[in-house]
């Protein structure tokens, strides 16, 4: 007989186990899954290209984001981290996958920019916040509902007053699962990633001030930016 629940973290870890093997995508043991994903760098995966998100470029061009300290959450091979560093940010880039981090470090050396890459579980690791920008391109939609608690706690700890939080995630009706949160626990899987509506994003991040929420713009293959319209892009601000 086990009686092993005495904290919120114990509950979160128990719920993680309900989603095995999907849990490998967000827990500290997930490096093997993501290493396999990144093993073939020539795979036809749109976001493998060394291109920043079009919304990130747009925010910088419009002056909504100004150089400061940035955290790239679930950075992959570092395409957005490199762009932020080139724009004058001091960048920490965190990912579960050693393969992704190694690829990002290679890209940074080739581009001649400084990014501090870390192989870590961002929820379980002490990060060096506060940050003026927390950027997430594709992490949120791979988390089960209960891990939004960890995600919001990470933002609360690491986003500076007056700082910005930006993300891209699957758009309901275009990409991702629309299964209600409660039913996901009955299924025991995330069905490849969760879709969100604008209303759900506004509700989840109600503690922040919305700056912009729109669909990502499609970018042609020859563009220097990454853009796919099946994603939402959002920019929020933490009021000072």
How many domains in the chain? 1
Q: In what order do the strands lie in the sheet with 115-119?
A: 115-119, 90-95, 69-73, 131-137, 159-170, 231-237, 209-215
| Residue 166 within a domain | yes
Digit-coded pLDDT (tens) for 186-232:
999 999 999 999 999 999 999 999 999 999 999 999 999 999 999 99
Domain range for residue 206?
A: 8-39+51-237
Average pLDDT, stretch 46-62? 94
| Residue 163 within a domain | yes
CA nearest to 228, candidates 127, 137, 95, 111: 137
Given a contact cutoff of 8 angstroms between Cβ atoms, the answer to whether 158 and 129 are in contact is: yes
> Does the structure show a pLDDT above 60 at 56?
yes
| Residue 168 within a domain | yes
| Residue 109 within a domain | yes
| Residue 154 within a domain | yes
| Residue 132 within a domain | yes
| Residue 114 within a domain | yes
| Residue 125 within a domain | yes
Domain CATH number, residue 126: 3.40.50.150
Given a contact cutoff of 8 angstroms between Cβ atoms, the answer to whether 100 and 76 are in contact is: yes
In this structure, how many other beta carbons lie within 10 angstroms of the beta carbon of residue 56? 25
Digit-coded pLDDT (tens) for 177-190:
999 999 999 999 99
Model's pTM, two decimal places?
0.95
CA distance 56 to 81: 11
Q: Pull the structure tokens for residue 110.
A: 């080739």
């Amino acid at each position: 007989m086990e009686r092993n629940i005495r904290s919120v973290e114990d509950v979160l870890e128990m719920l993680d186990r309900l989603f095995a093997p999907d849990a490998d995508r967000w827990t500290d043991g997930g490096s093997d899954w993501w290493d396999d994903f990144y093993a073939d760098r020539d795979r036809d995966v749109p976001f493998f290209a060394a291109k920043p998100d079009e919304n990130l470029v747009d925010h910088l061009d419009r002056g909504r984001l100004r150089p400061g300290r940035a955290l790239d959450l679930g950075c992959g091979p570092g395409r957005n981290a490199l762009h932020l560093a080139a724009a004058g940010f001091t960048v920490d880039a965190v990912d579960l996958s050693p393969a992704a981090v190694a690829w990002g470090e290679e890209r940074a050396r080739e581009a001649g920019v400084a990014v501090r890459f870390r192989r870590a579980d961002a929820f379980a690791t002490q990060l060096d916040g506060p940050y003026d920008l927390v950027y997430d391109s594709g992490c949120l939609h791979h988390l089960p509902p209960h891990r939004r608690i960890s995600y919001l706690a990470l933002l609360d700890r690491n986003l500076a007053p007056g700082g910005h939080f930006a993300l891209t995630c699957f758009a309901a009706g275009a990409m991702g699962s629309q299964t209600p949160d409660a039913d996901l626990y009955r299924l025991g899987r995330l069905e490849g990633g969760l879709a969100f509506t604008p209303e759900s994003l506004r509700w989840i991040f109600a503690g922040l001030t919305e700056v912009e929420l729109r669909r990502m713009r499609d970018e042609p293959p020859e563009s220097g930016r990454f853009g796919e319209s099946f994603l939402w892009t959002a920019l929020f601000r933490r009021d000072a």
